[in-house]
Amino acid sequence: MFEAFVTLCLAAGGPCRVALLPGYGADTPSACMAALSERPPAVPEEAAGAPRCAPRPVADLSFTEIAPGVFAHRGAIAEPDAENRGDVANIAFVIGSEAVAVIDAGGSRAVGEAVYLAIRARTGLPIRALVLSHMHPDHVYGAAPLAEAGAEVVGRAGLARALADRAVSYAEGFGSRIGAPGFLGTALPRVDREVAERTGIDLGGRVLTLEAEPTAHTATDLIATDSATGVLFAGDLVFAEHAPALDGSLPGWQGVLGRLTARKAPLVVPGHGGPALPWPGGAAPLARYLDTLAADTRAALAAGSPLSEATRNIGVTEAAHWRLFDLYNARNATAAYTELEWE
């Protein structure tokens, strides 16, 4: 098979990377080139030179089949950097008899291109939907190549607005840590459809049910469940190994997690760690962390401890249980303190 590519450069002289342009896959280079001239692609603004066709490369992102037709990739437990290109969150896809759906897209266009290749290594079926579990950049920045491959980009109600509000801070914070060449061509996605309550995506022989959650990890959390296997795709409503990040509501998150853990599911794909964990046991460390955060925060507030002092103590007994703990716990403590202060 052949695919279309374009070279992206930060400036004349580089750094550069070769980007894949999904949507032009063909059996021969001439058919690929004909498709390019019939439907010229909207190339990223860093494009240097014209798109061209070349053999489809081997995907360099590993996915494990965790249940029949359900594939999951484990993102690095790390902050985004030049080496991992933002591949720091889990990604999954589900193959039905008629179509494919992807859940989350990784943290850069390069990762999204690798997701496309990993899917195409297993099936030529249309990629019908890309479900974004929430707004965070490590889950959404890889969306564009999957949208170009034909996927409808689906998120919870409020996602498009949340992304627009954070576009500058995500590019400056997350994007600049990856830098060029890894982040070249990366942009936040447009959201084609927002889910306010619940909807289903029929993939042929199986339906992916999407449910909007109240504010918990963030105000844009959306979960998915595969009807054929029962696998639950929780996004960052479930963290494992990687220190949790609170960017929504602590009591909200405790409530959502309590409700989800009362459900039956054979496996959960968390947003970080795993990538497949037993359910509900896979959520136990997170539930314990959130309970500790809440109890410590309420104790600090009851003792009249000021924010600066409280954030040095809240949650610290959890330190040994999580990677990247110091990067996240103090921020979580601040968020918990400022939220629970008004109870």
Structural contact between residues 231 and 265, judged by C-beta atoms closer than 8 angstroms: yes
Compute the least distance from the CB of residue 218 to Zn ion, in Å. 6
Contacts of 179 (CB under 8 A, 6+ apart): 82
Residue 92 or 149 having the CB closest to Zn ion: 92
Number of residues interacting with Zn ion: please give it, by CB under 5 A. 2
Compute the least distance from the CB of residue 149 to Zn ion, in Å. 24
Residue 109 or 136 having the CB closest to Zn ion: 136
Binding residue for Zn ion, selected from 236, 249, 253, 300, defined by CB under 5 A: 236
Distance CA 131, CA 118 (A): 17
Helix (H) or strand (E) holding 3: strand 2-9
Distance CA 44, CA 183 (A): 12
Helix, strand, or coil (residue 220)? coil
Distance CA 300, CA 286 (A): 21
Candidate segments 69-77, 112-120, 129-137, 145-153, binder of Zn ion by CB under 5 A: 129-137
Helix (H) or strand (E) holding 245: none
Residue 51 or 75 having the CB closest to Zn ion: 75
Indicate the length of the chain as a whole number: 343
Check residue 156 for interaction with Zn ion (CB under 5 A). no
Residue 20 or 89 having the CB closest to Zn ion: 89
Compute the least distance from the CB of residue 116 to Zn ion, in Å. 22
Do β-strands 198-202 and 193-195 pair in parallel, antiparallel, or remain unpaired?
unpaired
Compute the least distance from the CB of residue 271 to Zn ion, in Å. 6
Check residue 46 for interaction with Zn ion (CB under 5 A). no
Candidate segments 37-45, 158-166, 231-239, 322-330, binder of Zn ion by CB under 5 A: 231-239
Residue 73 or 136 having the CB closest to Zn ion: 136
Check residue 136 for interaction with Zn ion (CB under 5 A). yes
Check residue 109 for interaction with Zn ion (CB under 5 A). no
Candidate segments 135-143, 156-164, 189-197, 305-313, binder of Zn ion by CB under 5 A: 135-143
Compute the least distance from the CB of residue 300 to Zn ion, in Å. 25
Compute the least distance from the CB of residue 314 to Zn ion, in Å. 20
Residue 328 or 337 having the CB closest to Zn ion: 328
Structural contact between residues 21 and 3, judged by C-beta atoms closer than 8 angstroms: yes
Residue 15: what are its φ and ψ, rounded to 5°? Answer: -70, 155
- Helices within the chain (DSSP H only): 29-38, 109-120, 137-140, 143-148, 159-170, 176-178, 250-261, 284-302, 307-310, 325-340
Candidate segments 161-169, 194-202, 234-242, 252-260, binder of Zn ion by CB under 5 A: 234-242
Contacts of 259 (CB under 8 A, 6+ apart): none
Contacts of 342 (CB under 8 A, 6+ apart): none
Contact residues for Zn ion, defined by CB under 5 A: 136, 236
